[in-house]
Amino acid sequence: MPQTTGLGHVGIHVNDIAKMRDFYTRVIGLQVSDEDLDGSYRNGLGMCFLSSDPVAEHHEFVLVEGRSSEEDTQLVQQMSFKVPAIQDLREYKQLIEKENLKIDRIVSHGNAFGMYFFDPEGNRVELYYRTGYPVPQPHGDPIDLTRSDEDLLADAKEALFNKTR
């Protein structure tokens, strides 16, 4: 059977491409690798290509104008971005709160610590740190990011022990 090597990119339709471009660059820290905001390439629909590392991957995330006007339309279940350290989750939490965005939950999946929130247009976003512990899923215990890295990781390791016995 053929195999994939990983997720290449995710694209979402948006109402306000400038607002969403600003959010994903200023708050999440993605970089614009290319853009066509006036829509000259795609039938008048603006596009913005974003990446955490444009040298390694041209784009991981694409914003495209043309979202349905229905407020309850869910285009994507969620978009998840990896972070290199638990401290990044803490700093992102402050940024998300400063933006007055709703944080849905902050949990330990055992194999990762995830913070779920909604971007300015209501799309669900996860920022997560991989713990390295292969805890069977689903698993999701609420966590407090004010606790030390050591304590959080010890709990994640304990989840591995508890889920595999």
Q: Where are the domains of the chain?
A: 7-67, 77-165
How many Cβ atoms from other residues are within 10 Å of residue 165's Cβ? 5
The two structure tokens encoding residue 99: 């933006």
Q: For domain 7-67, which CATH number applies: 3.40.50.880, 3.30.70.3280, 3.30.470.20, 3.10.180.10?
A: 3.10.180.10
Confidence label for 163 from pLDDT (cuts 50, 70 and 90): low
Closest residue by Cα to residue 53 from 24, 29, 79? 29
Mean of pLDDT over the chain: 88
Sequence-distant (6+) residues with CB within 8 A of 24 are: 30, 50, 61, 63, 119
Residue 72 has pLDDT above 70, yes or no: no
| Total-model pTM | 0.79
Residue 131 has pLDDT above 70, yes or no: yes
C-alpha to C-alpha distance for 44 and 47, rounded to whole angstroms: 9
CB 27 within 8 A of CB 49: no
77-165 — its CATH code? Answer: 3.30.720.110
Residue of 158 and 1 predicted with greater confidence: 158
pLDDT digits (tens, 9 = 90+) for 14-52: 989 999 999 999 999 999 999 988 877 667 788 899 999
Average pLDDT over residues 54-80: 81
Give the whole-number percent of the chain exceeding pLDDT 90.
Answer: 62
C-alpha to C-alpha distance for 138 and 112, rounded to whole angstroms: 11
C-alpha to C-alpha distance for 4 and 19, rounded to whole angstroms: 33
Q: Which amino acid is at 42?
A: R
Sequence-distant (6+) residues with CB within 8 A of 155 are: 108, 141, 143
